[in-house]
Structures are given as C-alpha cells and as structure tokens.
Structure 1
Amino acid sequence: MSHAISRRDFVQWAAASSLIPSVATATQSKKIAPASISLPPKARIATVVDKYWGVEVSDDYRWMETQPKTAEWDSWLRAQADYARANLDALPERAAMLKRLELFSSDADSLRNVLPAGGRIFIEKRLKGEQAFKVFVRDSLQSAERVLIDPDVHRQSEDVPATVDYFVPSPTGKHIAYGVSIGGSEISTTYIKNVSTGDTVEITKILSRGSGWNSDGSVFFYYRVRADAVPGSPDFGRGGSCWMHRLGTTPNTDREVFRNSEGPDFDGMEDDLPVVRGALGSNWILGMHLLNGNDISQVYVTKAQDLLDGKPQWRKIAGKSAGVKAIDLIGDTIYALAKGRESRGEIVKIHTDKEDFASGKIVLPAKQGVLNALVAARDGIYVADLARGLYGLQRISLTDQVERLHLPQAGSVWGMFGALDEDGPWYNMDDLTIPGTTYKVNAQNLHSQKHQFERPLGFDVSRFKTTRIDAPTRDGVKVPLEILHRKDITLNRRNPLLMIAYGAYGTILDQGFSSANMAFLDAGGVIVYAHVRGGGELGDAWHLAGKKATKPNTWRDAIDSAEHLIKLGWTDKKHLALWGTSAGGIMVGRAITERPDLFAVAIGEVGAFNVLRFELTANGPGNDVEFGTVKKEDEFHSLLKMDAYHAVKNGVRYPACLLITGANDLRVEPWQVGKFAARMQAASTNVPGALLRVNYETGHFATSRKNGLEKMADIFSFVLHHTK
C-alpha cells in the first residue's frame, strides 16, 4: 500500500487529487515595509460575458486565467503578496502568536505513519526543530532508527524546499519506492532505493505516483502522466497510465501495464487514473481506475504472471455503482469496503477467480456508525469504524469471524497499516486535544501495545478539552460539532471562535491533534469542527446531501451551526470566524456571501471560489462528478449557486477576509483565489476587503515546519485582531 500525505491534509491513499503542475516560479517574494502600502493593488477590469443556457454571466477578471501566465498576472500577484505580508507582519497580535506556536511545537516531533514490511518498520516523521518530514527505518522493532529518505538531498536551491510526496515499501521490505517534488508542486520524480545498501535508481522525472508492488517485490508499478502532456492544459491529466519497473533493469525499458479505460465493460470516465498492485503471497493483481486521483471507481483483477508477461486477462470485479472506498487482497480473496446498502459502509468478500461485487459475501455490514478504513494483516482484515466522532476497530478473521478490539483510549484511529507476513496492524490514535500515540495490535488477545516513535510533548494538555454537541439546522438535520477549548473557559459571548468546515467528496473532516491549535486555545480562542453535509461523517447519504444540487446544505449547515453556537453563548457575531480549505472554499465563500452579517472574519485557504470555471482547469476533469458541469443545464444552475466569486455584491460589508494561495498549487490554481480576492477588494465596504497571502515556496500544502508555523501565525493573529 502506498503512503501519500497524511489524513491531516485531506489526502488518502495513492495519489494526489490532481495532476497539474503550476507554471509559477518558486522564488521568494520580497517584503515591503507596512508604511509604504496603504491600499491593495487594483486589478484591471476587462469584462467578459458568457451565456450559459440563456443566462448571461459577467466575469471582470477572466484575464487572470490566461495560460501560460502573463507578466501582468505575475506582477499583480506579487504586489498582492507584498501588501498582505506587510499588513500581516504589522498585526500587533502576530509576534505573540508566533512565540506561542513555537512554544507549543518546538519540543515535539511530528509523526505521520508507521508501516511494516518484511520485518522492517518504516517511519515517516519530522524531528524536533527540523523543517521537512523524512522517512526512517528500523531493521527490527528493537534496532536503532536510521534516515532512509531525506528530501533535502533533492533540493535544487537553499530557498526552495523539497517534499516526500509518497513512499511505498516493497512487501519484502528490501526496497522502497518514493516520490519527491520541489516547492510544493507535487510534480514527483520517482526513485527506488535499496534499503540495506542505500543504492538509488531514478525511475522517471515525469509526474508520477506510486501504485504498488508485485508479490515478491521484484516489480514496482507506478502511475505517470502522458509524456507529451502540456502543463496547465485541461487535458494534462488525461491519458495517463500505469507502468512497471523490474528491479535490475534500466528505467527506459519500463512498459505500460494498465492503460486509461482498459478493461472489459469499462464505464466511461472523463478523469481516469489507472493503477495496479499485488500482495505478498498472492498470484493475483488488482487493477483500479481512480476518480479525482483518489476514489476507487472501477476494479479489475488478473493473474499476476499474465500481467508480467504482457498478456493480462482483466475481469471486472466492481463498477461505479458499488461505491468502493478501500480494497485489499489476501491470497485469492479480495476484501472491499463499499458504501453498502445502508450507505454507512459494508465489507464484501470476493473470490478472485469466480465472483464479483454483486455475488460476493457481505462479511461485515455497518450497524451503528460508519465503516471508514480497511487494512489486511496475516490474521485477517481490520476495519475502523466511526460513531459520533469516536473510532472503533474490528477484526474479520480468515474464517469470517468478526470480533471487536479493546482500544486503549478514546479518539480517532488513523494511519492504520498492516503486513501479510505478520499478525495485527500498526495504527495511531489521538483526539482533538489529546496527542497521538502509536499502537501495535496483539492478534492473540486483541489488545494493543503502545510504542514510542516520537518525543513526548513538552507542555501539559490537561488544560484543554473537546466538547461534542449537535447543531440543529433549518431542515431539522443535526450537524455534529466538536468544540476545542480551555477547561476554564467562560461562555461570555466574547470568545474568539474559529469554526472550520469542509463538506465535499464524502471526506471525513478528521484533523486530529494539532499543537498549533493548542496555541490558539491558550490565547483564549475556541476552535470548532463542523461536520457539515457533503462530507462522509454519517455515511454516503451525508455526502449526497451536500453534492451538486444539494450543495447549499454545506454552507447553510455552517451558517446554522454558527447561529447555534451564538445561541449557546460560545461567541457572538463580532467574535466569530469561519475557515474553509480547498473544496471548503465553496463552504466559506458562500456562507459569507449569503450571510455577511454573521461573521467577523473569513479564512479561505487554497479555496475553490470560482467553481463555474473549475472544470476548465487541468484539475477540472472528474470533479464534475462532485460539483457538476456547465454542459448540463441543471448542473450549471447548481454551479452558479455555489460559485462564491459570482455571489459577491457591490457595497456590502463582508467579513475581514484572509485568502491564501501557494504559487505552485497544482490542485486549485492561484487564479481561483486571486479572482475572489480582486472581487472582494472592489466590492466590500470593509476596507481592504481581503488580504491575498501568497507563498512562493508552497503549493496546495505547506512544505516545511517554518511554512506551516508562519501560516498559522498569520491565520490566528488575523482572527484575534479582527475579533477584538
């Protein structure tokens, strides 16, 4: 199983949700003193009018979308970056907040995941005081750790960070494949390293993602984009395929093994990322077509030797309607976690040679809660489930016996990985105000043993607490809320409250413990995670209730949740902030344009604010499944309703807005944020309307500890300043 960025970054197994590189240069924007800038730089207005299904839509800043990027765009973006930087640096709360963030994070390591393979243990973490996550290895549990993958080795300059985008140990633990990108671009170069000797082979510079290995670890499979794909073009991610590299051969002899749209009874997809992987001890290979780089849309199987011989006989196991969320292979048996008859998930057991999803056996239906993750170990399948914000674990034995594990604490289960040559998986647990711990399951008694792979925190978390409540909405649905706060807080309606919501793709908003959050709580703030519709917290039905035509539920759930918090006395309108990231840009953008009076502050981070134009970006294909397409009349009207850019009205006092983009973002192109910022600056009576924070060293995610701390200092101090 491949490992990408952790769940804390809304990314799941295997690949990025987009495959477009940005043409922005990864150079640092210079700072200008606050006194030299009084107003944000104006954006040129050049109105373009489009007509969709008889509706005229005006767009004043279409010129920002031009590919390749123009000198005018670059000049305006850098001027915006300088203006925002000057204003953020001048916030009187920022210096103190940065010190708090340093205090709460300086003594700690940051662990992402622990993966077993071939008796070895692979650990991804960032050590105290260091900037980048590295991959370490232990040859056994008792042996010392050593650095295996250091992304800094691949840096092209001192100013531009490098990032490990993914790593995939072979099932024998003898080799590890990994991808490294520069400046947050996620344009991975793929390498394979011999774990014992350190010898490394570069496989391809073409944007690639790890797919998996064959059963004995002699062949590595990886996805890569077309060799002739043009960066920034709408078809950049189309036509990619899965390739194989046989150890000991030169990469220029690698060949395609699973192509776009390959397989009998293939159901057409505008966006298709084909991947394959095998499993230790299995004679079979799984072939999967991923939607949006992540969601398993269609599943095939073939004999491994046939594939290696170049003569695969693919047989379809599951199609789009199955709603497969995760899948694993033990011998000649497939276990699939699918959305299920009741939409909360079920585990289906399928024999590779004669069955498919429809004829397979349901070995675990969801009862209470939602089935959320699946992983295979030698003794069976382990399944994580979620109910009211708390996780549980169950084991399905190879004879289909289901047993519930005894978890050592309450909270979230994440980073669960197993190996087919050992019993019981590794997993991590934390809660929103309780730091993470790594555990290994004892398969004999189904208890878990604690293991320490990181330094303990240097501060006391007992002062903080998570309170869980439900917020009623206008249509009678109850939205789960998780409230992080100091235990000694007083409900005086003056607490700076930062509500965070997402609500898209059926993704569960599960941030887990964050030392940065503790810094905001220590300063008297309150953080609320609102599990609005469009996410997967309550199953597939919850997702469908915030998708396409039902998308208004997403931002109205946020509005109704905010009003409920005010009613209970947690805060008031003058002290309320709302934060949305990526697809959460729809949530925050439409919440503040529909109810500008309700919020004092809005944070829009790498947000999709102009979804009417999103399908025309290189990351657009495939997202029509989630949001819709202007090619269909009903979906156009839904898109227009969820487009925050077009919802802005002149002469309205909107909340103080901090809008954030990374110049190398390949998922939500910077112009999506730039257009919204320009519109807010021109329309809002709340001068300056919006700050547009631009980081030239990052893309969709922060690339270093320094980047992350500075971003959080900006966000938290901005919130505190505007909720005085």
Structure 2
Amino acid sequence: MRHRAIFAALLGTVAMTLAVPASAKDAPIAYPVTEKVDTVEEQFGVKVEDPYRWLENDVRVDPKVAAWVEAQNKVTDAYLETLPGRAELAKRMRALYDFARTGVPREKGGRYFFTRNSGLQNQSVLYVKDSKDAAERVLIDPNAWAKDGATALDAWVPSDDGTKLIYSIQDGGSDWRTVKVLDVATGKVLDDEIKWVKFSGLEWDKAGKGFYYSRFPEPDKAGEFQSLNTNQEIRYHALGTPQSADPLIHATPDEPQLNHVAEVSDDGSFLLVTSSSGTDERYRLTMIDVANPAKRRVIVPELKNDWQMAGMAGDKIYFVTNKDAPRLKLVAMPVTGDESSIQTVVPESDAVIDGASVIGGKLLVNYLKDAHDVVKLFDLSGKPAGDLPLPGIGSVGGFQGDLESKETFFSYSSFNRPTTIYRYDLTNGAVTPWAEPKLAFNPEDYVVEQRFYASKDGTRVPMFIVRKKSVTGPAPTLLYGYGGFNISLTPGFSPTRLAWLEQGGVFVQANIRGGGEYGKAWHDAGRLANKQNVFDDFIAAGEFLIREGVTGKDQLAIQGGSNGGLLVGAVVNQRPDLFAAANAAVGVMDMLRFDRFTAGRYWVDDYGYPSKEADFRTLIKYSPYHTIRKADYPAVIVSTADTDDRVVPGHSFKYTAKLQATEAGDKPHLIRIETRAGHGSGKPTDKIIEESSDIYAFLAHFTGLKIVGE
C-alpha cells in the first residue's frame, strides 16, 4: 500500500519526602523542589496559573532546566535500582529481542533491497541482493554512525533502475533529517547532501537523475528543536549539484500553515502534490507536469477529504477517498480529469479501507475489520477476486509495486507472532514465506482474544486481551490505549510486552474512540468537544477488566504514549482510584500551550484552538497539567526524552513538577528522561530495553506481578 510518511536556583536543599509503603525495601523518596514562578494569565475570564512555565525552555540551551533534569533523573534512577525483578526483565527482554527481524523488500531494477536486524543491533542494516538468487550484501550499516547507537537510518528509496539510493539520517531521535545518496554497485556515498528535511517523502524522477523532497526554512540555533514548523516547500535536487541550487517546485507563502508532500506518478509524467494544514486527512491535490513544472492544475481544491493515490492503469489514477464515504472507497479519476470526474470502483462497505495498491493488473485493498487487517482482491474494474490468505488475526503492511509487477511482498504480525515477510505471486496467487523469524518462545503458549465492552454512553468498544494460556484471572494487567488522530491500534508484536506476558501478566489493547478503527465517525466521536469520550472509553475498559475478573482492583496498570500519554494523564486525574500504576510516555500534558511548539500547531484538528473560547473551555477541563488535584494517586512514572521535538519534553516536565508538588498520595511520582532520544523513532535497541525494563519493573511492582528469573 502506498502511504505518506507524514507528518540550581531552582533546586534547593529542601525536599518533600513521601513514604512509599509498597514494601519494606522501599526507601522514602526525596523529590527535588522545583522553583515556582508567578505566571498567571487570564483567558476568557479564567485565571490560568502556570508556575512551571520555565521548564518549557530547551534543556540543551537552558542550564537551569538541565540541572532540573539531572536532579530528577538522579532521584528516579535511585528508586528504580531498588525494584525487584528489574535486572531479570532486562535480561529476558534482551533474549526476546535476539532474533533476526527482516523488513519488507523492495524490488527495483532486478535488485532486492531490505533491512534486517540480527537481533541486538542498535539499528537495522540495509541489505541488497543484486538479483533474486544473488547473495545479499550490506549496503548501509548505521551502527557505526554513533557510539551510543542513537543515529538511525530512516527512509530509503532506490531509483527505478536500482543503481542509486536516497536515504535519510535521523540523529538523536529528532524529527529533522539529513538526506544523502549512495551508488548501489560500489556502496560509495555521493557528495550530495540535503538538510532541514522534515515530514517529507523522497521521490526519484523516473530517469534517476534527481529527486523531490520537502523542507522547512533553516531555523536559528535556539529554535532548532522548539520553533513552529511553517512554510514547508517542495524542491528538486539534481544529482551532483549543491542544495543551494535546488529549484523550488511548490510552495504556498500566502498559506504558510500548509504542508506539502510530492509523489511521482507511476508513468513518471506528473508530480502529485498533496497539501494539508493539520493532522486531519483533508487534502488539496495539485498535479504538476514533470517536463514543464510551470504547467500545473489543482485537481482537488478544497481541504475537505482524504485522497490517497493507489496507482495508475492506462489513463486512470486510482485513489482511496472518504468523499461521500466515511469508511472510504476506491475511485478512478481520468489523468486529464479532476475531483468532479471520479468514478467509484470499489464502494464503501462496513469495514474501513486502510489503503490500496494497483499492482500487476490487480487492486489490492486493505480493510480494517474490528481493528485487524483483511486484504481483498479486485480486478481493475472493481470486480471481487477473493481474499488474500493471512495466517490469522493480525496486521499487514507492504504491497509495493506497479502495474507491471509480477510479485509483491507484505508483512504479517500479531501480538504473539513477530513479523514474517511473505511473497505474493501475482501470476498464480501463491503466498509463500520470504523471511521467517526464529523465536525464543512458543507462540502457541499465548492466546489472543477480542472482546467488546460498553462505554459510559453505551457505545460498543473492542479490545484485545493477550495472555498465556496458563494464566487465569484476576492477574496483573497492563491496559494500553491511544485514542486520537484517526490512528488505529491493530495487533502487533513487542518483545518487551512479551516479557510481561511471560511472567504471568495480561496485556490489553483498547480500541477507543478517536482512532480510525471504524472510520470518520469513530474519529469524530473522540476529538474536539467529544474528547471526553476517549477518556470515558478507557476508564470503562478498566472497569470492565475488573468486573470480568481479568484483573483485580489493585492489579491494573495503564500505559500510553504521545496522544496516549495525554490519555493516561487525563484518566489518572479523573479516576485515580481505578489504577494501581501508570506510565505516561512523551505525552501532551499542557493543552493550553501545545500549539506553540514545533509540530503542535498541526494538532488543532483533534484538540481545537486554545485561543478560541469554546475550545479553551473544553481543553481546560481535561488538560493533565491543569487538572491535577489532591487525591490518592496511583504510582506514576512519566517518560520522555531530551531531543523530542515532536511533543517537546516541557509537557512532561511541567506535569511531573506539579504532580510532585501536589498532595497526591504516598505512591511515587517520578519522571524518567532519556538522553539523545526523541519521540520514539530511531531509538537504539539498547535504550529500548533499558527504558522498557525500568518501566515494566515499576508497573509490575505496583500491580503485584512477581518477576521470576531463570
């Protein structure tokens, strides 16, 4: 499927001491006292206090913030060292990670490109086979790029003839990318280098002489990791020329809020520019003549609907769209046409279309059915041609190719099944394994169950429950959720979660509203003025698990990251009595200032505008930072990273400082701050294992999960 990639004076010697009665081994925690400032702003008649605003400053620039981070990490590290089972979890996680993980291959010019991690490598390595039967060889090994393993190979795109490769580099988890070019035959890195790339596709022209990319203006040093991202533009880079010579292909200076991503058509004749203003799938489409870039026309003018180019066949372009189809449909548009000339090829159905590809004369359409993937086949006219056989309830990805392709590859995974790569023969329909992992556990020891429960307003919500077959409830349970931005949570494998399951814990993934599991209506029901539904769904999931005997009242932990970190922060404030422990990771915690930093301005589609009164009054009711209250809170561990330039760490810093300063019970309220890491992508394996063993040991300690070593 073709998807977008988008997208010191403060510290004194005084400390608050909290007794933690969880076990005799627990020592009292002395939190650093965080300086308060007298910052009060009146918004729409409401006086909003923000005593920790100074913690928004960049930790790499402000020594006071750096000192606060150091002091907090010192306290957190000292506490984590006392937790039973932490070392055993880390050891087992390393063992569970130690298997070869292969990515979906891409064939170009007879060559096959794919990534593989041998097991415990910090970063996956890019390999190439010069023909189907040739021996593989290393093309790019990023593991030597940084001593701490935190510099990663991000995107990589071979030219159509397979002779060259564009690739992007991510350093320290930042969203900024540096783009380079490599000669595939020799492995030599060319002199071309492109900077200030972010939220970009990388697209070769058909001749392989250059490529298109999206970039932002170069920020000043102080704002590199915090300034708002505006005025994105598309440029073309001709190989062998400096970036300064790259011609401008598309920009909208009169609409600086728009983002632009380019795709080259299958026949190479035109460039499709997809423009957006936020996180919603609402796009403007502009078609640009590759031979004459001045020749262009807008084929979808309004930022109103979702449009995903699936491919071409003859004089037709195939799109997946939600125009007049909330669960999406597949349409065809004449190359010379526009939005008004589309014809439905595969109509909307009960299941949500999650992507489609035109490959080898077939339409491969990926559906979400109750939060798991089903792939259906059609001919180019939309006539059904059966289903692609899958191993079970899980998630798939891949399906790259064009109209002439004879084969394509896809991945399959589930909660108890690591990713396996399959080859699909488009001529005879055969599906065969291409890369199967060798495992240090037996998938048959685990059961994956889907159940449905009623939320506060009666809405039927699905959840996946994963456990060892030998485990019966009530058992310590980790409940995970997200609930936003039309993002669907589907089954997927995690070695760190498996370590929890091995010890007798239960893992639950709730498909709450705000996601895309059931299309536009499901998303709309969990955003803007409806955001409370997301929290109600998650709380109802916890109540259901206790009521059904899956877990006990003092055995339930919750976890979420990014928008899911917001989820955890909000529900802990609303129902601190329901949970034993919580991990809020890289969360959006200050809902009144999120739009002032880096990518935050995009999120108004889901959250609303803090500057608008109606939105403000909704946001202040659930903003985690503003709704902390005196109550008996669960144990909370906040996790973030110093180089997160997606959700800046100031969100987590401020939330933690206020939680620690509030009479919120006797359990620990800590923050774990990773260095040279960002929002999550590109994080080296060593850091993942270290962070996960810390957090899971913390959650296990407060849910009663006993960690047993070998």
Per the normalisation by structure 1, the TM-score is: 0.89
- From 374, 381, 393, give the equivalent of 1:392: 374
Determine if the alignment matches structure 1 residue 433 to structure 2 residue 416.
yes
SS class of match (1:392) = strand
With 557-566 and 131-140 compared, the bigger mean Cα shift is at 131-140
Match of 1:665 in 2: 644
Match of 2:72 in 1: 80
1:523-538 alignment runs, 5 A limit: 523-538=503-518
SS class of match (1:710) = helix
Match of 2:201 in 1: 210
Match of 2:19 in 1: none
- The question of whether the paired residues in 2 share the 8 Å contact of 1:109 and 1:455 is answered with yes
1:194-593 alignment runs, 5 A limit: 194-201=183-190, 202-208=192-198, 209-228=200-219, 231-232=223-224, 236-260=228-252, 271-292=257-278, 295=281, 297-307=283-293, 311-317=294-300, 319-325=302-308, 327-330=310-313, 332-354=315-337, 356-420=338-402, 421-452=404-435, 455-491=437-473, 493=474, 495-510=475-490, 512-593=492-573
- The question of whether the paired residues in 2 share the 8 Å contact of 1:682 and 1:689 is answered with no
CA distance, structure 1, for counterparts of residue 277 and residue 152 of structure 2: 24
Question: Structure 1 residues 512, 228: closer, same or farther in 2, change over 3 A?
Answer: closer
SS class of match (1:129) = coil
Match of 2:654 in 1: 675
- Using the TM superposition, give the Cα deviation of residue 516 of structure 1 relative to its aligned residue in structure 2, in angstroms: 2.1
Determine if the alignment matches structure 1 residue 39 to structure 2 residue 30.
yes
- Using the TM superposition, give the Cα deviation of residue 153 of structure 1 relative to its aligned residue in structure 2, in angstroms: 4.4
Query: Structure 1: which amino acid aligns with 2:412?
Result: M
- Using the TM superposition, give the Cα deviation of residue 416 of structure 1 relative to its aligned residue in structure 2, in angstroms: 1.3
C-alpha deviations, 1:205-246, integer Å up to 9, x for none?
A: 323433312233322101111135662587541112111112
Question: Structure 1 residues 36, 531: closer, same or farther in 2, change over 3 A?
Answer: closer
CA distance, structure 2, for counterparts of residue 35 and residue 137 of structure 1: 52
SS class of match (1:703) = coil
Query: Structure 2: which amino acid aligns with 1:353?
Result: T
Match of 2:161 in 1: 172
The Cα RMSD (Å) is 2.3
C-alpha deviations, 1:374-431, integer Å up to 9, x for none?
A: 2232323321101123321123433443323331411334331322241343111122
Question: Structure 1 residues 369, 378: closer, same or farther in 2, change over 3 A?
Answer: same
CA distance, structure 1, for counterparts of residue 628 and residue 26 of structure 2: 30
CA distance, structure 1, for counterparts of residue 384 and residue 300 of structure 2: 24
SS class of match (1:171) = coil
- Using the TM superposition, give the Cα deviation of residue 171 of structure 1 relative to its aligned residue in structure 2, in angstroms: 2.5
CA distance, structure 1, for counterparts of residue 243 and residue 39 of structure 2: 48
Query: Structure 1: which amino acid aligns with 2:258?
Result: D
CA distance, structure 2, for counterparts of residue 423 and residue 627 of structure 1: 45
- The question of whether the paired residues in 2 share the 8 Å contact of 1:501 and 1:530 is answered with yes
Question: Structure 1 residues 540, 720: closer, same or farther in 2, change over 3 A?
Answer: same
CA distance, structure 2, for counterparts of residue 325 and residue 592 of structure 1: 37
Question: Structure 1 residues 40, 125: closer, same or farther in 2, change over 3 A?
Answer: farther
Determine if the alignment matches structure 1 residue 149 to structure 2 residue 146.
no
Match of 2:178 in 1: 189
- The question of whether the paired residues in 1 share the 8 Å contact of 2:642 and 2:673 is answered with yes
Aligned length: 681
CA distance, structure 1, for counterparts of residue 575 and residue 27 of structure 2: 34
- Using the TM superposition, give the Cα deviation of residue 342 of structure 1 relative to its aligned residue in structure 2, in angstroms: 4.0
Query: Structure 2: which amino acid aligns with 1:144?
Result: A
Match of 1:24 in 2: none
Question: Structure 1 residues 296, 243: closer, same or farther in 2, change over 3 A?
Answer: farther
* Residue ranges of structure 1 left out of the alignment (5+ in a row): 3-11, 18-33, 263-267
With 538-547 and 318-327 compared, the bigger mean Cα shift is at 318-327
- Using the TM superposition, give the Cα deviation of residue 294 of structure 1 relative to its aligned residue in structure 2, in angstroms: 8.8
Query: Structure 1: which amino acid aligns with 2:551?
Result: T
- Using the TM superposition, give the Cα deviation of residue 36 of structure 1 relative to its aligned residue in structure 2, in angstroms: 11
- The question of whether the paired residues in 2 share the 8 Å contact of 1:238 and 1:271 is answered with yes
Question: Structure 1 residues 261, 529: closer, same or farther in 2, change over 3 A?
Answer: farther
- Using the TM superposition, give the Cα deviation of residue 704 of structure 1 relative to its aligned residue in structure 2, in angstroms: 0.8
Match of 2:51 in 1: 60
- The question of whether the paired residues in 2 share the 8 Å contact of 1:181 and 1:189 is answered with yes
C-alpha deviations, 1:270-302, integer Å up to 9, x for none?
A: 632212221342422211114447956221112
CA distance, structure 2, for counterparts of residue 638 and residue 111 of structure 1: 45
C-alpha deviations, 1:94-125, integer Å up to 9, x for none?
A: 0121122123222x122343223232222123
SS class of match (1:645) = coil
- The question of whether the paired residues in 2 share the 8 Å contact of 1:14 and 1:210 is answered with yes
C-alpha deviations, 1:118-172, integer Å up to 9, x for none?
A: 32222123212311122211222322221212223433xx236211121122222
SS class of match (1:305) = coil
Question: Structure 1 residues 546, 511: closer, same or farther in 2, change over 3 A?
Answer: same
- Using the TM superposition, give the Cα deviation of residue 190 of structure 1 relative to its aligned residue in structure 2, in angstroms: 0.4
CA distance, structure 2, for counterparts of residue 334 and residue 226 of structure 1: 33
CA distance, structure 2, for counterparts of residue 38 and residue 602 of structure 1: 18
With 35-44 and 174-183 compared, the bigger mean Cα shift is at 35-44
Overall identity of the aligned pairs, in %? 27
C-alpha deviations, 1:664-683, integer Å up to 9, x for none?
A: 10101111001111111111
CA distance, structure 1, for counterparts of residue 172 and residue 330 of structure 2: 40
- From 603, 608, 615, give the equivalent of 1:628: 608
Per the normalisation by structure 2, the TM-score is: 0.91
C-alpha deviations, 1:535-589, integer Å up to 9, x for none?
A: 0011111000001100011111000011011111001220001111001122111
CA distance, structure 2, for counterparts of residue 567 and residue 676 of structure 1: 31
CA distance, structure 2, for counterparts of residue 682 and residue 153 of structure 1: 43
- Using the TM superposition, give the Cα deviation of residue 349 of structure 1 relative to its aligned residue in structure 2, in angstroms: 1.1
Match of 2:101 in 1: 110
- The question of whether the paired residues in 2 share the 8 Å contact of 1:221 and 1:243 is answered with yes
- Using the TM superposition, give the Cα deviation of residue 684 of structure 1 relative to its aligned residue in structure 2, in angstroms: 4.0
Query: Structure 1: which amino acid aligns with 2:165?
Result: I
- Using the TM superposition, give the Cα deviation of residue 319 of structure 1 relative to its aligned residue in structure 2, in angstroms: 3.1
SS class of match (1:469) = strand
